[in-house]
Structure 1
Amino acid sequence: MKKSIATQRERLPELQLVRAFAIIGVLSVHSTSYAVSAMKESQYFFLYNFMNIFMKYGTPTFIFLSSLVLFYNYYSQPMTRQRIGGFYKKRLLYIIIPYTLFSIFYFGLLHFLYYPDRSLADTVESFFTKLVTGKAYTHLYFVFISIQFYVLFPLAWWLFKKVPQLTKWAIPIGLAIQWAFVFLNKYYWQVPNKGSWALTYIAYFMLGAFVGIYYPKLKAWLVVSRSNATPVRTVSWILLWLSWAACGLGHVYIYYTNRLYGTAYNSTLYELMWNAHTYLGAIVLLQLASIVYRTFKGGLTPALERLGAVSFGIYLIHPFFLLVYRKFPLSTGNSVLTHAWYAGGFLAALFCSWLVVELTVRYLPASWLVFGNVPKTEKSRRRQEQQGVPLSR
């Protein structure tokens, strides 16, 4: 009898915490998008700008994490037609079907609100165009990117198995491809909506592949603890975190001066600061998750684990609650209430979405059609892993 993937690999529960950090980042960016335009005269504009830019690690971290888990679970396994078929079946059921349903939902909502007089022919054409390009709503580009990487994954898996030496070069290969795309697009192609294409994030995918393949060897460095500390590792940890903080604050600064004073920067600088900030941040968040998991095991950790488990569902539904919330703006000159209203957008997006996902998963049969593969409880999640259900969506 063949052993399942899950029984052959160490469970990595801290990855759910990384998902939680990532969804908090996404919600922070989306909930402050209006504020950075409306609050330029406020003395707290720097804080809104900070939350809007520093927290942009969400999407890159999700891509990094998805790749890490895929290669961690699959790379050591033999490539068979059955295994590849099972991989695509799970993605169809738990990613593409929810993506399609939410594309219909958001497209219909926008049609009702803004295009009620559009002809049926134009409506159908517009919908299918948006469906196959990830544009039915602003946030669905991420799922569209993920689908592209799911198409790419078996090819990368086969190539790394065929030429194992390439795995050691995954990081420079990913950075080279991504930056080749950046420059070719800037000077020659000018691809519209380049953020909707996998090449924009290929470095994160390859970083995840490297960490996933070599995790057993990297674990002592990735898990920051006294037992793992050596002089060399400690210095490397400090340098990593300082570099991440510097790149993140530099990223925040160029947007702050551009938004407030109109300072112009070369577009490549924006690309570089975003890439450095979020690329280093993916590893920092992985290390932070291991620290939080050990330190707050009986308190904060279970809540963050659950938030990570439902993060895909929250990602899909949260723009709806932001849209509804923003239909009722405050008309007040009281700055305290104004700040509270913007903070309320984040809280509404988080907790309303979380509640809807939890209720759907708990009480709606075939809830996976809507929110993907979300276990009802921590116990059911562990049972899924024991049965060989991968940690990745």
Structure 2
Amino acid sequence: MVSIEILPQERANIPELMLVRAMAIIGVLFVHSTSFATMNMMNSNYFFIYNFFNIFMKIGTTTFIFLSSFVLFYNYYSRPLNNQLLRSFYKKRLLYIVLPYLVFSVFYFMILHYAYYPDRSLSMEVSNFMDKVLTGKAYTHLYFVYINIQFYLMFPLFLWLLKKYPNTVKWAIPAGFALQWGFFLLNKYGLDTPVSNRGSWSFSYFSYYLLGAALGIYYPKIKEWIIIAKKNVTAVRLLSWIVLWACWLIAGLTHVYLFYETRLHKASFNTTLFDLVWNIHGVLTVLVLMQTAFIVTKKLPKALTNRIARLGELSFGIYLIHPFFLFFYRQYPLDTGTAWLLHLWYIGGFGLTLIGSWIVVDFFARYVPFSWIAFGNMSKPVKRSIDQGTLAKKLDA
């Protein structure tokens, strides 16, 4: 998710993207820390709260995919596509993305082996491990890195196409939806044996990827619409902002409602409806989060904004390691019938996951040489003000 890259011929920095990353990783932590509660707290009067955070915040993966594409096309579209660029691009992805992916695949494989399968021969498990690594299944959350690797393999093709035929950029967004939904419908109705792990394949996220590509290329032209500020207000823009946020809330709450009825009342809905509502919710969320980031930059104290930005800078490492804290926290479930203690236990899981992951990754970034092997290319904290645009340029990985 985060790797540092100083580029020649850079376009203007967008430090607010670090805030979007921070909000995305918070969403990931909410979803993962409430997953057990949505199963174990169904008899609670507060189940709707757990269900809300588990579904409404289900925007981390899709937002990170959008950000990855947005930053890549924003930075690379104006640069010559040659062998030097491709070598540099893939070298960085190999070192700062693929290598950490392999490290944490081994890390979680060893944890699971010794926690659940200590009697199995480790040598016999190697082939099973290799299969999981090659399909993004070494641990539940690593599918995201697997998806991004697929996008990186395709990035030069899309970059070449959009550069050679600039008129195709305006069709990138509808093409993304067409490719994604073509894959969904083909998998559901056209294949004799549907793809079982559909969410681990890049075609499931093409609407976000090509939305990021189009907005990254067009950003200098559309930033006045994205940034909600008095100087940018027109009647049309104001109406479009209101419509965007209203549709986002409606889509998000509908998404929550579908899961609430399914989980609590065993209601049955067409799976395509879930896909549609989540797709709308996810796409609108990335736009809302970008606007929110600019609002936060202006409204919150600089010190607090910089701390949030630091969370965004470390988001890749936090994403990789946070299930480790949840895994061990859940080894000691709270055995009590006191409702408020159970609620505190679930809140504690979120707090430990956020704070523990943040401390560990920040410590490695500050003090441990070669920490990029495990956590990707992270920056040490620097004295800067986010609204002055002095954050180092980051590439999503």
Matches within 5 A, 1:162-201: 162-189=164-191, 190-201=194-205
Equivalent position of 2:19 in the other structure = 17
2:207 is matched with which residue: 190, 203, 209? Answer: 203
Deviations 1:115-147 (A, max 9, x none): 122234531101100111110000000000011
Contact 1:7–1:386 (CA<8 Å) still a contact in 2? Answer: no
Q: CA deviation at 1:300?
A: 2.5
2:237 is matched with which residue: 219, 233, 240? Answer: 233
- One-letter amino acid of the structure 1 residue matched with residue 197 of structure 2: N
Matched, 1:30 2:68: no
1:276 is matched with which residue: 271, 276, 280? Answer: 280
Q: CA deviation at 1:308?
A: 0.1
Equivalent position of 1:80 in the other structure = 82
Identity %: 55
Matches within 5 A, 1:252-267: 252-267=256-271
Aligned partners of 1:380, 1:18: CA distance in 2, in Å?
18
Q: CA deviation at 1:389?
A: 5.9
Aligned partners of 2:326, 2:365: CA distance in 1, in Å?
21
Equivalent position of 1:373 in the other structure = 377
| Cα 1:21–1:388 shift into 2, 3 Å | closer
Q: CA deviation at 1:30?
A: 0.2
Equivalent position of 1:363 in the other structure = 367
Equivalent position of 1:135 in the other structure = 137
Deviations 1:95-133 (A, max 9, x none): 010000000000011011111222345311011001111
Aligned partners of 1:90, 1:381: CA distance in 2, in Å?
27
Contact 1:40–1:260 (CA<8 Å) still a contact in 2? Answer: yes
2:51 is matched with which residue: 49, 52, 56? Answer: 49
| Cα 1:388–1:54 shift into 2, 3 Å | closer
Q: CA deviation at 1:377?
A: 1.1
TM-score (norm 1): 0.96
SS in 2 for 1:5: coil
SS in 2 for 1:8: coil
Aligned partners of 1:8, 1:381: CA distance in 2, in Å?
20
Equivalent position of 2:318 in the other structure = 314
Equivalent position of 1:245 in the other structure = 249
Equivalent position of 2:3 in the other structure = none
**Structure with higher RCO (Cα < 8 A, 6+ apart):** 2
TM-score (norm 2): 0.95
Deviations 1:334-391 (A, max 9, x none): 1111100000010011000000001111111011101101101135999xx9999643
Question: Unpaired segments of 5 or more residues in structure 2?
Answer: 1-5
SS in 1 for 2:20: helix
Contact 2:74–2:217 (CA<8 Å) still a contact in 1? Answer: yes
RMSD: 1.7
Aligned partners of 1:380, 1:67: CA distance in 2, in Å?
26
Contact 2:384–2:391 (CA<8 Å) still a contact in 1? Answer: no
Aligned partners of 1:69, 1:293: CA distance in 2, in Å?
19
